[in-house]
Structure 1
Amino acid sequence: MTKGKGKVDGDGPSRERTINWDDGQTKFMLDWCIDYMKNQHAGFKFKKQHHMKCADALNKEFGMGVTVAQVDRHFRHYKENWKYVSKALSNSGNGFDSTRCMVTISESEKENLNDRARRLLSKPIKFFYEMKELFAGTNADGSFAADQDTCMNDRDDSESDDSQGLNDMSGYALPEDITGDDSDTLPSPLSHKPGGESSSNTSRAGIKRPRGCKSPSKKPKKAKSRFSQTTEQLNSTLLSLQKFLNAPAPQVLQPSNPHASLWERLEAMTITTDDKITVGQYLAHNERKGLRDFLSNASDTTLQTWVYKFLTGENY
């Protein structure tokens, strides 16, 4: 069921109605945002246009009739929840129970929390891993500093061990700094003999790298992904469509009135307005096209003579 609130009074602004989200709808929204964020640039932030796309996806999947404001409010609700969770994990005395998906926190610390944070941290945290993947990299204040031994091992122990092994650089020797050589010049193998001996012919100059060999420090450019190519094609199509829609409409030439000169000459005659209307109504009849053609090509004297006879009834 949906709950809604109308306007407070006749002139006050109306507040967006609230809806009840079930777990399936919430997980779909968070997963959609995670998948969308993976294809974006570093430092990407969700805005109104992104929530609009998410609302469309929710309506197609569940037929919720959800609006952009409702998606934005639900998104911010879980973003605020993650701030409480990450702040609790950043305290060195706290831990994380991966079995129950709960933050282990002391009762004394709970007493200092507000009601919302206390209710959130006193029970298993729904959508913990979804919030972590979506919001862990967006806290600019550095509030998320959870211990990797207690927070990451519950997802994948082998992955954690591999990452720790890769990050441990203590067993590697420091690179030798050779001054005076540029990035494209290799030192001579005779210029660094054991004991400090060096050849006079090779101590001051290195061996130049062949032209066909690239510097190892220069990484080859990665080919564009299929998603980026599709995005560029879509943007190009939209740009062409926008130019087409913004182009001025072609001017359609209106068919010229073959009897325009007849009406102008009739208007210029020195007769009353009522007489002009009477003559015009008579000549405008569909059956008198031949008469209009004749008078259009006739001289002014012939036209005036015919008009006077028509008005005096001599023609009929």
Structure 2
Amino acid sequence: MNEEQHSGSHSETIHLPAPTAWPIIMAFGVMLAFAGMVTNFGISLLGIVLALSGAIGWFRQVLPHEAHEDIPVVVENIIITTTRPEVARIIVPEDDRAHLPVETYPVLSGIKGGIAGGIAMIPPAILYGLIAQHSIWYPVNLLGGAGVANWRNPSTADIAAFHWQGVLVAIVIHAITCLLVGLLYGAMLPMLPRRPILLGGILAPVLWTGLLHSTMGVVNPELDQHIAWGWFLISQVTFGLVAGWVVAHQSRIRTAQSLPFIMRMGIETPGLVRERESATENEDESR
């Protein structure tokens, strides 16, 4: 609590404009002049007289010189006291409750997992093409055939042959899908921290394989007839196991969702920062 005192004094008189009632009389006369239009002419006549009287009296107060008067003032010492209390700050602990997951994987770990999984699922797909159709381009064209506009009702020989349009589309689809699924793994695996390989290698591939199997007949029924869903599931499980293993072995970072919302917004919070600093000092002393 801080108190400051300032001393000062006033002069004996104050020079102020002289008070007058003429503006009020003039305004009252104008009001009566307009009111007489809907009531009686006599009221309007009275209003005009009052308005002119008020205007003349008001002008005489300010012309040719404004009327002033000196108001006597009792001289006394004035003591001004200001009170500046300290603002009470709400002390909120940093970890007031646990928001799961407490730790998660960085974005780079999801990208690494997607790249590793995408590379790992290529051998099973090529092996299927060699065993089933004696061609390594068969699974490539199945993946990229949906993006080739002129493919309608392709035969097995057409799918097994080399088509540069299908190869380019398959590379683009495969790369983008693997990266996106890898990022999804990085965000999803902390939900099951004790069994990340089970979630990433079995549950997730089975779920999206079933989803694709149920929708591919509507999206592209021609290519749906040529897909061997057993081999497709093997490739997806291979991707999930490798991507899940790579992501699970990356270092985790602590999430900021347990912090107060005002700190996550980046707003300066001295009370919260003070609490964090004291907690850090206590940890250092305990060590």
Give the alignment's TM-score, normalised by structure 1.
Answer: 0.21
Q: As a proportion of its length, which structure holds more strand?
A: 2
Larger RCO (CA under 8 A, 6+ residues apart):
2
